[in-house]
Structure 1
Amino acid sequence: MEVQLRIGIVGMGNAGMTHARPLIGNQVPRAVLTAVCDARERAESLRKTLPGSVMIFDDYDKMLASGVCDAVIVSTPHLLHPEQSEKALLAGLHVFCEKPAGISIGPVRRLNKLAAGTKKVFAMNFIKRQEPVYQTLKRLIDGGELGRVYRIHWTASDWYRSDSYFSSASWRGSWAGEGGGVLLNQCIHNIDLWQYIFGMPSRLRAFCSFGKYHNIEVEDDVTAYMEYHDGATGVLVTSTGESPGVNRLEVTGSRGRILVENRAITFYRTSVPIEDFNRADKSGFGEPEHWECSIPVNGQTDLFAGMQRNFVEAILDGKELFIRGEDGLASLEIANAILLSTWQDDWASLPVDEASFEAELAARIRTSRKPSAINEQRILDLSASFK
């Protein structure tokens, strides 16, 4: 008989329900949803939504001790991710943690140290990494097709959210409940891709606006300028208040310019490296010849189901994880540095000053308030977020 990996989910809000659907719909071979856990108030509605075979818990510790799960998907509010992932690992279960890994580096670093000692599979869910357009871009950059990278400019303003989004759950939009805004919840995908493709900057200077477009405490508009040890620079712009927004990534290097937009890649490739032309040209106003090339992007994105299949295969077959638990550290460190730079009105170096960030965040959590017009029961369709 084929081995079935028994999976439980803690946190049955938007992300939790989105994780449950592929498992219920038999989109993940050799995996079965056996248990979920959420607040007692939500249990009744969950019974109407989930198959009768799924056990429903309102106590996470009891679910972990029940013996009905081999692995847990953690999809609760961000600040709970490290603690709840640790509990599952200590209970002998594999863990698939929703992004971000936490709200600050310290607890996430400790979580990864624990995971390494347990020998259990610990995966993160950054679903946009698997998109063919970004995999193709990474191959171009890693293969040296663009030469030395000069500049990166990413405008990620297609994360628009209305006020109803923030009022859909009591933890959204506050320092005490969410621990951050667009940097942690939405643009963390872009930041993860940034460091995955281009590596970590050495320092950055950032400007965040808090509650610029919404009645929230956390950041909803961000501009960050980054510098690299090799001289490359980058600018990241993101917002949840602009519509229509854009997702436009432009990378300039010694062999031209690459534009990524609308899931397509256009390469404006120079005939010779810029450095060579600079030395050879005698006209004063000349430019190297270049060609506009449309780069083929093949394949489809399977979003949550694809990530879950990789998680199951890593456990049952020993397949390499697409995104390991430790991969959640780099994007979180950049997000923390962007906030710290804004709060201190100064440059922030990477690795980030963890103690300074923790102190600044703790001060905001102490005075945090909850957003108004809360509806704890409203589940939103996350598929609309990934256009």
Structure 2
Amino acid sequence: MSTEAPLRVAVVGCGVIGRLHAEVAAHSPDLEVAALVDPHAPAAEAVAEQLAGLGRPRPRVHPDLASALAAGGIDVVAVCTLSGTHADLALEALEAGVHVVVEKPLDVAMGPARRLRAAAAERPGQVVAVISQHRHDPASLAVHNALKAGRFGTVTSAVANVDWYRTQAYYDSADWRGTWALDGGGALMNQGVHTLDLLLWFLGTPVEVTAHTARLGHERIEVEDVAVAILRFEGGALATLHATTTAYPDLGVRLQVHGTDGSAVIAADELTFLHTRDAEGLEGDQVARELRDAAEAPQGGYANPHLTQWTDIAAAVREGRDPWVTLDDGLLALATVRAVYLSATLGKPILVADVLDGAYDDQETHTGSTAPVGE
């Protein structure tokens, strides 16, 4: 446990994910929620009551980030608002001189994300992290560690499936859901980006994307509810990516990685299979052994990968180093999602490097073929 004073956090956006970040902070000796920001005061007050119920000091409540920053007493801003507002709010916080944590995705468009990246480069003393808490799952760590050590041999392929189900009522529950401007996409941008991030973490830099998207199971949304893509990586590996919100009754997430000397399967965040050639002949269950070696220190009685990532972020702030999940990681994941949508729209393979460099900035919004079959 740190003996230093906790970092004072302003949580911007008091919806579902903002409440989670506040709860995580309440269980961390490294963090204290100093301010809650939401234009809808009852939402912020509800989170303040939640924190009081957990025995933590009641934070200030502000209608916007500017007033929270002007009041002072903030070390870190956690951006937990609608996806299409992420980069602009993060930039506002960065320019105020505080550290920044952005929920996934980094934004819905490359332009704002690239401006944030340029501003961060001029402020090396300020930490900017993007939430990708599943990198801290023991299952993900076990696979990553084995890959990094070369124990899979030549990595040849991967299969990433995000087979979720969302009702029509889910999309009808808020005007911003299923819009390009604020949701930034559908099954891939909103639900599948975490699994895509793990795919990139495991296989490296994607080179080219070929994709199709469609809207087949929902009405009154602009975005896709099915996305299918093939990704080619720098190392030569190929991967298939499938994300949907039409897989009734919801089959969850499955990620497979294959190589000449080993393979692994993660299903529902659990390591269900890992077998490497170098472990053949060893006694005991290899999955259990790999998980034991990858396990991070428990955080008291509150087990949550968001807390594990926040612990790393707090350490990065105090040690003056990069966080484990950086702004560049979030930028690459966003560029890959955008490449999927561009490929589906333009009907051709898209180079991820071109998306990163701004070649498609004139097609930042309303991108993605979502026409139902027969339309």
The bucket for the TM-score relative to the shorter chain is 0.7 to 0.9
> Does the CA contact (< 8 Å) of 1:265 and 1:294 recur in 2?
no
Structure 1 letter corresponding to 2:273: T
For 1:179, the aligned partner's letter is G
1:314, 1:321 within 8 Å by CA — same for their partners in 2?
yes
Q: 1:190 & 1:303 partners in 2: Cα distance?
A: 14
Q: Secondary structure at the match of 2:353?
A: coil
How far apart in 2 are the matches of 1:59 and 1:330? 29
Once the 2 structures are TM-superposed, how far is the Cα of residue 48 of structure 1 from its aligned partner?
4.8
Match of 1:325 in 2: 327
Q: Verify the 8 A CA contact 1:310 1:319 in the aligned structure 2.
A: no
**Whole-Å separation in 1 of the counterparts to 2:272 and 2:153:** 17
Task: Note the 1:52-131 alignment, pairs <5 A.
Answer: 53-118=58-123, 119-131=125-137
* 2:139 maps to amino acid: V
Could you tell me which of 318, 338, 355 is aligned with 1:316? 318
Matching of residue 3 in structure 1 with residue 8 in structure 2: no
CA contact (8 A) 2:231 2:239 kept: yes
Alpha-carbon deviations, 1:198-224, whole Å to 9, x = none? 012221210111353454211211110
> Aligned residue for 1:375?
none
1:96 aligns to what SS in structure 2?
strand
What are the superposed Cα offsets for residues 260-299 of structure 1, whole Å, 9 maximum, x if unpaired? 335124245569xxxxxxxxxxxxxxxxxxx997423133
Structure 2 match to 1:302: 304
CA shift for structure 1 position 32: 1.1
C-alpha contact 2:49 2:58 (8 A) present in aligned 1: no
Match of 1:359 among 344, 362, 366: 362
SS of 1:34's partner is strand
- Alignment match, 1:153: 159
Mapping for residues 17-36 of structure 1, pairs under 5 Å: 17-23=19-25, 25=26, 27-36=27-36
Residue in 1 aligned with 2:169?
A: 164
Tell me if the contact between 1:173 and 1:180 (Cα under 8 Å) persists in the aligned partners.
Answer: yes
Residues 96-142 of structure 1 deviation map (CA, whole Å, 9 limit, x = unaligned): 11111111223212212211322211111111110011111111112
Contact 2:69–2:96 under 8 Å retained in 1: yes
CA contact (8 A) 2:195 2:255 kept: no
Deviation per residue, 1:157-179 (Å, 9 max, x gap): 1x322233323333211112212
Q: Structure 1 residues 10 and 267 mapped into 2: Cα distance closer, same or farther (>3 Å)? A: closer
* Partners of 1:254 and 1:2 in 2: CA distance: 47
Gaps of 5+ in 1: 272-290, 366-387
Show the counterpart of 1:197.
202
Matched, 1:177 2:182: yes
Instruction: Tell me what 1:187 maps to.
Output: 192
- Which residues of 2 match residues 210-359 of structure 1 at below 5 A? 210=215, 212-242=217-247, 243-262=249-268, 263-269=270-276, 294-296=286-288, 297-298=291-292, 299=295, 302-318=304-320, 321-353=323-355, 355=358, 357-359=360-362
CA RMSD of aligned residues (A): 2.8
Taking structure 1 as the reference length, the TM-score comes to: 0.81
- Once the two structures are superposed, residues 283-338 of structure 1 have per-residue CA deviations (whole angstroms, 9 ceiling, x without a partner) of xxxxxxxx997423133662222222222222234465221222211111110100
Farther off after superposition, 7-16 or 178-187: 178-187
| Distance in 2 (alpha carbons) for counterparts of 1:6 and 1:41 | 21
Report which of the two structures shows the higher radius of gyration computed on alpha carbons: 1
For 2:372, the equivalent position in structure 1 comes to none
Deviation, 1:188, is: 0.7
Judge which range, 165-174 or 354-363, deviates more: 354-363
In 2, the alpha carbon distance for the partners of 1:31 and 1:246 equals 32
TM-aligned CA distance change 1:251 to 1:192, over 3 Å: same
Superposition TM-score, scaled by structure 2 size: 0.83
Superposed, 1:126-141 pairs within 5 Å as: 126-141=132-147
Contact in 1 for aligned 2:14/2:43 (Cα 8 Å): no
Distance 1:2-1:131 versus aligned 2 partners, 3 A rule: closer
Q: Distance in 1 between matches of 2:284 and 2:253?
A: 20
Residue deviations 1:318-374, cap 9 Å, x none? 465221222211111110100000000111112134656433343569xxxxxxxxx
Q: 2:37, 2:44 within 8 Å by CA — same for their partners in 1?
A: no
1:362 is paired with a residue whose SS is: coil
CA distance in 2, matches of 1:50, 1:15: 15
In structure 1, what residue type is equivalent to 2:122?
Answer: G
Pair 1:320–1:82, CA change in 2 (3 A): closer
